[in-house]
Amino acid sequence: MAKRDLYEVLGVARDCGDDELKKAYRKLAMKLHPDRNPGDHQAEESFKEVSAAYEVLSDAQKREIYNRFGHEGLERGSGGGGGAGGFADIFGDVFSDIFGGNRGGPRRGADLRYSLELTLEQAAFGTTETIRIPTLTSCEPCRGFGTADGKAPRECQTCRGVGQVRVQQGFFVLQQTCPTCRGAGTTIADPCKVCRGAGKTRGEKNLEVKIPAGVDTGDRIRLNGEGEPGDRNAPPGDLYVQVQVKQHELFEREGADLYCTVPVSIVTAALGGELEVPTLTGKAALKIPEATQSGKVFRLRGLGVKPVRGGSVGDLMCNVVIETPVSLTKAQKELLRELGESLAAGGNRHSPRTHSWLDKAKTFLEAHLK
């Protein structure tokens, strides 16, 4: 059968837009749909021709190929245009709202999930990772058709390619998946030896995944069409890359903010000073004021993470912990004792917290131990 010009089939101009194209298709397809023309073989053929034409012209890439190379270009391209899969897919997409869905035909491929471990830095600044995923790939010898000769499978005689049959039950007419082709709309008499008719073979593939800056544990990146291929050239599923951020030895992330614990000597805490603290990109100066207490949190603005969904960059929160000196020499111990005596002589001026705590403890004990 000689193939008609696809624009002519849909009755549109070569430069028509997507909306116009869809409108023309819907109008023709509604007129020619098998449900409205039971037993009319001519209408059914036209319906398929219209659907196949729309499948090509509604896909920017396929339309471009067709415009440049015609039908031949489409046949040479991988997957091919106008196959049984395309037909069934459009049937489902455009008609689900008109005819109540229940699409038959080849099924879309399964979605795949991949768990990707990232360091905090990779998650914060983004990265490109090459991942290896197990996948079902379109069988090469049969070009995904599942047939021994690599040609499109024959239309199912039971359902005439629709994938569904109508069954009379009392007053009702029910739509059921075709028992002969199990919804595929096609049958294979002589299946491909490599894939045994499935049209797919198991394999692995490398995939480059671009991770945007600011992702966090639990974020998912969807890669359209990178899942398993569908039944007999139906569209593939999607791949979901699930981000898992590894624990960092210095930082903990909470939303856009980073937290870190900074040990400070008792001398710096008492006299004040400046420390160098690590950040995700390098170092930053942290001013410790005089009389800083353990547990005090200092905020370094803008040194956190830029959230992937937008918003301002978070802060780096430095939690100060005073380190009690260890491994003291005799002389050092002596100095500390001297210091202790000097502080004690000053009364509660040097340790107001201890004194207020002691007061509370005393009141409490007096009240309860009478």
Contact residues: Zn ion, CB under 5 A: 139, 142, 156, 158-159, 178, 180-181, 192, 194-195
C-beta of 155 vs 252, nearer to Zn ion: 155
Q: How many CB atoms lie within 10 A of CB 173?
A: 9
Q: Report the alpha-carbon distance of residue 309 to residue 362 in Å, rounded.
A: 54
- Least Å from the CB of residue 117 to Zn ion: 35
Q: Report the alpha-carbon distance of residue 290 to residue 286 in Å, rounded.
A: 13
C-beta of 185 vs 237, nearer to Zn ion: 185
**Torsion (CA) 123, 124, 128, 131 in degrees, nearest 10:** 0
Q: Report the alpha-carbon distance of residue 97 to residue 167 in Å, rounded.
A: 22
- Least Å from the CB of residue 167 to Zn ion: 13
- Least Å from the CB of residue 75 to Zn ion: 18
C-beta of 185 vs 214, nearer to Zn ion: 185
Q: Report the alpha-carbon distance of residue 339 to residue 255 in Å, rounded.
A: 44
C-beta of 50 vs 195, nearer to Zn ion: 195
- Least Å from the CB of residue 215 to Zn ion: 38
Q: Report the alpha-carbon distance of residue 293 to residue 56 in Å, rounded.
A: 71
- Least Å from the CB of residue 151 to Zn ion: 12
Whether 145 contacts 151, CB under 8 Å:
yes
C-beta of 147 vs 292, nearer to Zn ion: 147
Alpha carbons within 13 A on the beta-carbon side of 270: 9
